[in-house]
Amino acid sequence: PVDDNPEGNGAAVGNEGDVDGEKLVLTMGTEAGFEPFEYKEGDNYLGIDIELAQAIADKLNMELQISDMAFDTLLDALNADMVDFVAAGMSIDPEREQQVDFTVPYFNASQAVVIRAADAANYTDVTALEGKKIAVQAGTTGNDLADLVKDADVSAFTAYSEAISALENGSVDAVIMDNFPASSFAAGNEALQVITGWYEEEQYAMAIKKGNTELHDMVMAAFDEMIADGTAA
Ligand code: ARG
């Protein structure tokens, strides 16, 4: 990587060299259909990951840019240097750890199952999913879990909103997705119900390209400061 930081402090981050005014740009890859972690209101990106990433960029004196793309393309984009890091409510998992480096975990979550409230009596335990039509977001840990369900017919969508629409219109029976975004979709929607407690805990972390130890160290240091000052848990 070329060190193109005008301040000359040696911060060569990734391979991209965009300079905006004085500040180097730090590009976050995400999929912004995942409230409360990343979502859009008009042209603005909001959510916990956005706030954490902004706090990191501020500590590094860099300008945060957001690149919104399909979840299942994020790690390829990272490894192709199209983004500097990924913050997308992404769960640490062994397969991903082969491809990228993760930061410290910053959030505990788990996969939940969203169903139509009218069907609730049929969903007493996880075996109720067997043979069902299950919608997921492509490339997620929920997708992996759905693929393991016996005789299930799995539809992988780009956006969780499409998976939820498929549930509402009856073309699928259930959506496997992360617990907090599941609650966001179900909030104020009497027709939907969220089931939790069927799947193991997962931990969210940000992902950085393997070998980009400089950015990894900088982000980890920013996390340490945020943990110390209470910005991050
Ligand atoms: N936690 C799940 C995973 O890592 C889903 C993350 C989806 N994130 C998103 N921004 N759409 O696979």
What are the average pLDDT values for consecutive 10-residue runs of the chain, which has 233 residues?
40 46 90 98 96 94 97 98 98 97 96 98 97 98 98 98 98 98 95 98 98 93 86 75
Best probe residue, ligand 1, of 68, 90, 158, 179 (max atoms within 8 Å of C-beta): 90
State the distance from the centre of ligand 1 to the C-alpha of 142, rounded, in angstroms.
8
Q: What is the pLDDT of residue 62?
A: 95
The verdict on the CB of residue 111 being under 6 Å from ligand 1 is no
> pLDDT at position 188, please?
83
User: Which of 91, 158, 184 has most ligand 1 atoms within 8 Å of its beta carbon, as the pocket-test mutant?
Assistant: 91
What per-residue confidence (pLDDT) applies to 21? 60
137 within ligand 1 shell (Cβ under 6 A):
yes
Buried b (16+ CB within 10 A) or exposed e, 69-97: bebebbbebbeeebbbbbbbbbbbeeebe
Q: In the prediction, which pLDDT does 16 show?
A: 42
Give the per-residue pLDDT at 122.
97
Q: Tell me how many degrees the CA angle 63-140-179 measures, rounded to the nearest 5.
A: 90
Ligand 1 proximity of 49 Cβ (cutoff 6 Å): no
pLDDT value of residue 6: 40
**Spatial distance between the Cα atoms of 48 and 66, rounded to a whole number of angstroms:** 14
CA distance 223 to 47: 17
